Amino acid sequence: MLEVEISGVKFKNPIIAASGTFGFGREFSKLIDLNLFGGISTKGITLKKRTGNPQPRLCEVYGGIINSVGLENPGVEAFLNEELPFLRRFDTKIIANINGFSKEEFVELAKIVSPLVDMLEVNLSCPNVKEGGMVFGKDPDKVYEITKEVKKVSACPVIVKLTPNVTDITELAKAAEKAGADAISLINTISAMAIDIETRRPLIKMVTGGLSGPAIKPIAIRMVYECFQKVKIPIIGMGGIMSYKDAIEFFLAGATAIQIGTVNFVNPNAVSEIQKGIENYLKNHGFESVKDLIGNIII
C-alpha cells in the first residue's frame, strides 16, 4: 500500500528523512527507529571537512526555524569510513546529499559516493565560487550543466534538489529533467531573516538563513503542483510537513514521495504517526496504494 518506486529504487514507504535535519542518523537513532523511514537523505556532504558558519546559526520563528548552518560536515572520507557503515545497519534506502562549490567538486563527489549508496541528491543551493558566488541552483543553465555532468559519472540514480528562491521554479525543474535527472526534490528552504529588537541585531550571525517548517508548506505545495504540470520525472516533495494530512496534500499536488525534517525536532514520533495516518487515509477513501494519490487533485 505504501511502496513507491523512483527510477528503479523501491522504497517500502514514501517517507524520507530530509537532509540537514538528521545529521547522519546517530543521535536521532536514540529517539527514532530509523527502520521506519523509506529512505534517509544524509546531511550535506562536501569533499573536505567543513566547520560551518559561526554561532548563532539557528533560531525559532513563528511557524518554523531559520538556519544558517553552513554545511558543517566531516567530509566525504569520514562519511564513507564512519557514517555510511552505521546507516547500512538499517532497513532503509540511503540517499547521499552532495554539495560542491564548483562543477568539478560535484562530479568528483558523484564518482566517489554514487557506487556506495542507493541514490544521490544534488544540492544546488551552494554558491559558485568560480563565478562571483551566485547560487548554482538559481540559474537553469547551471542546473542543466551540473546535472548532466553528474549523470555522466553517477553509478546510481540522481535527484536534483531545487531552490525555491527564484521567480519560476519550473524552469529549474525542466532544466534538470532535460539534463537527465532521475527525479527532483523540492523545496529547499526559503531565504529569511529575524531581528532581536532589544539588541537590534540579527538572530542569525550570517544575518539571513533558510526558513523551514509549517510556514512554508503552502508555497511548497504550490511549487510541487507547478512542477508536476511541467515535468514527467518523479517529484519528492518537502516543506513544512507536520502531519499525515500535509503529506496527503503533497501527493495530491504531484509528489511521489515526501521528506520530513523540522517536524522531527518537535515530534520524534512523526514518522510513525504520518505513516499510520497515510495508511488510514488510503483505506478510508478506497485507495489501494499511495501511488493512486499522485497528482490526483480535482480542479
67 is in an annotated binding site: yes
Overall pTM > 0.85: yes
Question: In terms of Cα–Cα distance, which of 213, 146, 209 is closest to 175?
Answer: 146
221 is in an annotated binding site: no
Under the banding of pLDDT at 50, 70 and 90, the label for residue 131 is: low
Under the banding of pLDDT at 50, 70 and 90, the label for residue 178 is: very high
* Per-residue pLDDT tens over the stretch 55-112: 999 999 999 999 999 999 999 999 999 999 999 999 999 999 999 999 999 999 999 9
Measured distance CA(52)–CA(245) in Å, rounded: 35
- Residue 132: pLDDT over 60: no
Annotated active-site residue in 59, 126, 156, 227: 126
Measured distance CA(254)–CA(168) in Å, rounded: 17
39 is in an annotated binding site: no
Contact 17, 259 (CB under 8 A): yes
Measured distance CA(179)–CA(148) in Å, rounded: 5
135 is in an annotated binding site: no
For 24-32, the CB contacts below 8 A with 24+ separation are 24/79, 24/83, 24/86, 24/87, 25/83, 25/86, 25/87, 25/90, 26/83, 26/86, 28/264, 28/268, 29/90, 31/268, 32/264, 32/268, 32/269, 32/271
- Residue 40: pLDDT over 60: yes
According to the model, what pLDDT value does residue 27 have?
Answer: 87
Under the banding of pLDDT at 50, 70 and 90, the label for residue 187 is: very high
Under the banding of pLDDT at 50, 70 and 90, the label for residue 130 is: low
Average pLDDT over residues 144-166: 97
- State yes or no: is 227 an active-site residue: no
Strands 93-98 and 39-41: parallel
According to the model, what pLDDT value does residue 134 have?
Answer: 65
213 is in an annotated binding site: yes
* Per-residue pLDDT tens over the stretch 266-298: 998 999 999 999 999 999 999 999 999 999 999
